[in-house]
Structure formats: structure tokens, C-alpha cells
Structure 1
Amino acid sequence: MIPPTNTADYQEKFLQFLIWFIFTAATLSAVVGLGMKYIIMRKLVQEDWLIILAQNVYLAECISTALGVSAGLGKPWASLSEELKDNYLKTEYASTVLLVLSLAIIKWSVLVFIQRLSGGTLSRCIHQSLSGLIGVWFVSSTIISLFQCEIPRPWDHVNGRRCIDRRAWWSYVSVINMLSELFIAALYLLVLLKVQISRKRKAIVLSLFLSRLLVVAAAIAQLVIFFRAFPSPDVTRRYKIPVILNETTLSISVITACVPYLKPFMESLEAGVVRVPSLVRSEEELSLGRLTTESCHTPGPSNSTTCVSAHSS
């Protein structure tokens, strides 16, 4: 294999490495988290299948982004041929839709998990309202993205006609993304307030839940960098950092969605300190710090069996 001979070649390989490294981190997190949950539950439930679906969409988004790197992301726009310019704009067009779809599916997965974790105490109205908001956000963002410029070249926001204000559009996508994550973190807190556990375990569970705020931090960083890059007509060279931050935001979203399935939280489940109806259905059931044991005895010659239910703290 002939080594790269210029900076552009090194840069392309480095961007490709970053994209797939970030994706691999999210994939490993999903595999470990879902694998641990499967060991405990012996099955996968709705939120798990949503995570698997989101990861597949994420894979498609990574492929599209990697093709964008091959087409010229990171290189000066003026140095690209017309064919490469068009190819880059098409990959950006596709990856943006896949990015928003993957984020929406992850949010739906987390909401289903929270609803299950609350044991039905979370208001169905709250759950459905937030799920609906995410659906409206996804549909509206996607429609605007698909028709950002006049047909027949809706992907060409550089030379296309009657294009949208991409800065305003991306602000809408990012702000709703961040607000929905804040609402999700608040729902986690509401669930945790109802759980009777030790302070140490509560701190562990709280830190796992609030890790979703890392998605907000990554989205803020991406929005700030995008604003700085936006005025430049050199869309391939100036947009490389916003693209990497997009991948980082998506990866963190997957990782933090799977974090509650990891060992510290599952240890709390096994210790019987958190009640998760339908989350662990096996021969025994978890309860809020109380384990119910049922003992039966046969009193003497009557051969009648008496069952006594005893509660121990």
C-alpha cells in the first residue's frame, strides 16, 4: 500500500477514522448494554428494538458521511471538480435526514424505557405529548431538509435557487433537539424521586440518568461551530468540524440511551431497590426495597396447606 503523499490525503484518512471510531464506540455501547439487559431479562423489549433500529439508521448515516469525505469534505471547495461538488452535496443531503431520524428513534426508545421504568405512574399524557412533539420535530425537519432548495436540485444549497435559510433551519433542529433532551432528563428525575433507595445508589442512578445532558452539551457545541462556519462559501473545508460534532452528538445519544443497562444500574435492580414493572419478569420480581416472600406450611394431620405472605424490609 502506497502511503499518502500530501496533507489532503492524511486529512481524508483521519476524518474517515474519526467517523468510524465514533460509530464503533456507540455500537460497542449498544452491544454491551443490550447484551447485559438480555442476560437479565432473557428477551428484548420495545425500547431495545428501537435502539437496534436507530443504530442501523446511524450506520447508513455514517456511510453517507464517509462518502462525503471521499467526495471532498475537509478540502477546499474551489479545488473540487463539479462532479465531486455535486456528490458531496448529495451525501450531505442524505446524511442530514438520516441524522435527524436516528436521533428521533433514540428519543422514542428512551421515552418507552422511562414509561416502563415508572411502572405506569408517569402520566400517559406526558409520555404521548413528548413523543408527539418529537414526531412533529422529525417530520417538519425532514420535509424542510428534503425541499431546502427548488426542484430539480433540492440538495444544491450552494448554487440552487430559492433555498431556505439554513442557519434558521438548523437552529430549529438543534434547539428542539436540546429542549427534548432536557424534558427527558426531567422525566428521569421524576421517576427517581419516587424510588426509595440509599443515597449512594441514588447518586449512581442519578448520574446515569443525567448523562443524557451530554447530548445537550454536544448539540450546543455543534450549533456554535456551525454558526461560525456558516458564512463561508467554502462548505467542504469549513464544515468538517460541524460534521464531526454531528457524529459525536449521535454517538453520545446512543451511548447515554444504553447507559442505564450497564452494571451499576442493573446491580440496583438485582438488589431489589428499584421497581421496574415488566422490565425484569422472571421467577422473582423486584420491588422498592421490599422483598415479598411467600411461605407455605402444612399444619399436622389435616393435610390442609396454609400459605402466609411475609414482608421483610
Structure 2
Amino acid sequence: MPAFDLSLECASIVIVTTTAVTWSLLTLAMRYFIRLKINGPLGCDDYACSVATVFAVAHSIVTLCEIAFGFGNRKTDGSSLFSEQVGPYVTNMLYTIAITFSSLSISYLIARVVSKVRHKKVLAYLIIGATACWGLAGVITWAFQCRLPHPWNIDRPRHCISLVGAWIGLSVGHAALELANVVLAIAVVWKLQMPVKDKSMIVVAFATRLLILPPTFMRLSALR
């Protein structure tokens, strides 16, 4: 994107980011319209989805700021601190929070559906608790990834945790929680008295959550 003095890679990030933000906001607006006008009331799943969207948008904004400060381009003395240290430090925490509330949204939705089935409701809330603990652990990990007072300064490896190790641990935990949500959703849907075709469509809808996992593990491969 020569007109904006961006490399091809940075231009691709800008396009994907702005497109994703637009679709996320449109999807959230549609969700609220359906809840308020057709199939209410609002529940914890809707609020969790809203929080996830807010933090995802914030993550996207910081990412665009990183690009504006030189991310993906040659190092410059005036831009490297934010684009290479502070920016990623902030986006790691925003990403973790967004993913946490996104997973919580699915868990709360399942809990709402099985509200009258005690053992499945308990399982749903166990997943909710585990997801909340995972998110808190992730935020704390990134917040204190390096020694204070500059926890974003990854240029001092001896004063930092293993960032690759942290990503691997958090990604495995995230994958397990997403899989637990999908398995519980399948167990719930398959007990419903409805045609198999309709059940299959609902199962596929829940299973699309697993599409977030390949990019996660591709990121791990890139980090290594």
C-alpha cells in the first residue's frame, strides 16, 4: 500500500483488522436486535459477548497504532519502543481478555439452555469457572512477563519469563476449554426432541468455535 507508506504485510494486517472490527460490531448489533425484538431477554451470554467485542476492538486499535508507529517496518529510534515492546505487551492482555469473555459467552449460553437440567448446568458453570481462572492467569502472566518497573521490556530475556512457553501453556488451556464447551453443547443438543438435520446444524454452529484454534497454533509455530 504505497500511498500510505505501508509494506504489503502491514497493509494486509490493516485490511483484515478493519474488516474484522466492522463485522464484529455488525454481528453484536444483530445479536442485540434479536434479543431485544425477537428472542429475549438479554442474559449473561450477551453481556460477556459485549465485553469480548469491546476488548477485541481495543486490541485492533492498539494493533493499528503499532503499525502507525513502525510495526512491520525497519526499526527507527522513535518508534521501536511502542511498536516492538509496549504495543505487544498491551495487545497480549487485551487478546487474552477478549478470548476469555468470548468463551464465557458460549458457556453462559449453554448454561441458559440447560438451566433446568441440574448436572449439565453444573458442568457449564464448572467450565465458566475454569475459563475465568484461565483468563485471570493469562492476564497476570502478561502483566508481569518481565521484571518491574518495565514489564514490557523483552530485550532483557534473563529478566523475563519464557514467552513461547507462556503462549504454549495458555493455548493448550484455551483449546481444552473450547473443546469442553463444544462437547457439552453436543451432549445438550443431541438430547433435544428435534430432527437430526436440525440437531446437526446446531452442532456445526457450536463447532465453528474450534476454527479459532488453528490460527492459535499457527501463531505458536511462528513464535518458535
CA contact (8 A) 1:65 1:95 kept: yes
1:171, 1:223 within 8 Å by CA — same for their partners in 2? yes
Number of equivalent positions: 221
Does the 8 Å CA contact 1:178/1:219 hold for their aligned counterparts?
no
Deviation at 1:27, TM superposition (A): 2.1
2:109 to 109, 113, 119: 113
Q: Is there any run of 5+ residues in structure 1 with no aligned partner, and where?
A: 228-313
Seen in structure 2, the aligned counterparts of structure 1 residues 39 and 203 have a Cα distance that, compared at 3 Å, is same
- Cα RMSD, aligned residues only: 2.0
Find the aligned partners of 1:226 and 1:135 in 2 and give their Cα distance. Answer: 25
* TM-score normalised by the chain length of structure 2: 0.89
Q: 1:106 to 1:11 in 2, by over 3 A?
A: closer
Say whether 1:92 aligns with 2:91: no
Distance in 2 (CA, whole Å) between partners of 1:197 and 1:5 is 54
The structure carrying a bigger strand percent of its residues is 1
Structure 1 segment 220-235 matched on structure 2, within 5 A: 220-227=217-224
Partner of 2:68: 70
For the Cα contact (< 8 Å) 1:114–1:188, is it kept in 2? yes
CA distance in 2, matches of 1:177, 1:152: 29
Is the CA contact (8 Å cut-off) linking 2:108 and 2:128 kept in structure 1? no
For the 8 Å contact 1:71–1:84, the answer to whether it is kept is: yes
Q: Alpha carbons of 1:164 and 1:205: their partners in 2 closer, same or farther (altered >3 Å)?
A: same
Matching residue's letter, 2:81: D
Of structures 1 and 2, the larger Rg is shown by: 1
Whose helix fraction is larger, Structure 1's or Structure 2's?
2
Distance 1:5 1:117 in 2: 48
Structure 1 residue 174 displacement after superposition: 0.9
1:154 touches 1:160 (CA, 8 Å); kept in 2? no
> Residue 119 of structure 1: CA displacement?
3.2
Which residue is equivalent to 1:213?
Answer: 210
Q: Where do 5+ consecutive residues of structure 2 fail to align?
A: none
- Indicate the residue corresponding to 2:47 in structure 1: 49
Change (3 A) 1:221 1:161: closer
Query: RCO greater where, 1 or 2, for CA within 8 Å and sep 6 or more?
Result: 1
Partner in structure 2 of residue 102 of structure 1: 98
Q: How does 1:1-313 map to 2 (within 5 A)?
A: 4=3, 8=6, 11-76=9-74, 79-81=75-77, 83-88=78-83, 89-121=85-117, 123=119, 124-159=121-156, 161-227=158-224
Worse-matched range after superposition: 35-44 or 45-54: 35-44
User: Retained in 2: the 8 A contact 1:4–1:10?
Assistant: no
Q: Measured at CA, do residues 134 and 37 of structure 1 come closer, stay the same or move farther in structure 2, by a change above 3 Å?
A: same
- The CA deviation at 1:166 is 0.7
Identify if the C-alpha distance between structure 1 residues 5 and 203 changes in structure 2 by more than 3 Å, giving closer, same or farther.
closer
